[in-house]
Amino acid sequence: MSKIILRAVGDNLLHKQVYKAARKEDGSYCFDGAFEHVGPLIKEADISVINQETVYVNDRKKISSFPSFGSPVEAGDAIRKAGFDLVTHASNHALDKGYQAIKETVAYWENADKECEWTGIHTSREDAERIRILERKGIRVAFLNYTAPLNYHPIPPTHPYCVDVMKGYSKKRIERQIGMARQKADIVAVFPHWGCEYLYEPIPAQVKWAHFFADAGADLIIGTHPHVLQYKDDIISGDGRKVPCLYSLGNFISCQVIQGTMLGGMADIVISDEGGKATVEKADIIPLVTHTNSDYSFFTTYPLSEYNDELAAESKIFAMMKKNHGWDIDMKYLNKLYEDIMNRHAMENSIYKSPKDISAYNRRAVLRILMGKSNKG
């Protein structure tokens, strides 16, 4: 029997505070510290995946934060140094800087000196149809990545292939791609960018899409976009297969002063092959916590098991939570929040109850940006 470990983390969401902390005296950036404490977990994996929420821009003048992101290419350097094997790029921010930034992001990965695959964005029809497959110990895993939201950015009609989307009109294409992946690989993993931000439970659209992916032939579903953790579930496909679905891994790195966004997760997947038949043997979540110091001059992510109350007391994000909402965020709070999310009780204490609440919050956040007062980054 052969076994491999697949690990994946959520949104690499680079806000202005993260840029400032990573900026060096010569004007370049170094994001390596973000991965320092999760590095051993990444290196243990046979395959590791990260969701790059933001696109890369070559022009330093185009580096920007919420609501329209453009990130320095050094973010990709840190991902490669950390040892990630695949980067998912289909997100609601994929078109924040137009098709030009997609070209620059793809060019970065094409020219990277360390082999690291990417998926979700493309600069040609041919590449959009190329199924990403990584093989370890004789087990071939195919990766597909689609985004539901695009922040109202239209797909450029001259480059309709540039972002892989999950819309009603794209279902036939997705079915075809999953079918192609099944023919070429032993396991098909789908990474959807979906759902509603800041809600601890999936919305009905996520559940419907999860069943669609399973029925189309997916073996594993790992979601991003909500910026908070959501529970895991087993989807029963039309042909009776049990398909693990991790609805949201939350944030990996960010500077969001909003409920739950500091608590993320790392998918911990074991795939086994016995007698030529590969299956997902285990699908768990390792809780993570984003840490910053008292003046936002350093950002990193810890496994929750390695975090402590002393570090929590130092975090400016947690201090802002205390100031804004009266929440004392310590290890007891973080562990309970993780347990509540996994046990489907977190919504009971959530300040956001529905997508309507989130829509209102996001409108206020954009207005604060226009007034120079945003705490969303």
On whether residue 60 sits in a domain, the answer given is yes
Alpha carbons 110 and 6: distance in angstroms, whole number: 23
The answer to whether 250 and 260 have CB atoms below 8 angstroms apart is: yes
Q: What's the pLDDT at 373?
A: 53
231: in domain: yes
Contacts 24+ apart (CB under 8 A), 309-314: none
- The Cα–Cα gap between 99 and 242 comes to 38
Is residue 364 domain-resident? Answer: no
Residue 187: the pLDDT is 98
- 235's CB contacts (< 8 A; 6+ apart) are 210, 211, 213, 214, 221, 242, 243, 244, 245
Token pair listed for 78 = 């840190």
Sites in the chain below the pLDDT cut of 50:
374-377
CB 94 within 8 A of CB 48: no
The pLDDT value recorded for residue 377 is 41
Identify whether 360 is part of a domain: no
How many structural domains does the chain have? Answer: 1
Is 341 domain-assigned? no
Residue 118: give the domain boundaries. Answer: 2-291
pLDDT at 362: 86
pLDDT at res. 151: 95
- Candidates 101, 111, 117; CA nearest to 68 is 101
**In a domain? residue 195:** yes
- Is 67 part of any domain? yes
Distances (CA, A) of 307 to 72, 120, 300, 330: 29, 33, 11, 10
* CA–CA–CA angle 199, 202, 203 (5° rounding): 95
326 part of a folded domain: no
CATH number, domain of 163, equals 3.60.21.10
Angle at Cα 183 formed by Cα 235 and Cα 209, nearest 5°? Answer: 30
Neighbours of 24 (CB within 10 A): 9
pLDDT in tens, 299-329: 999 999 999 999 999 999 999 999 999 999 9
Question: Does residue 35 contact residue 12 with C-beta atoms inside 8 Å?
Answer: no
Q: Is 252 helix (H, G, I), strand (E, B) or coil?
A: strand
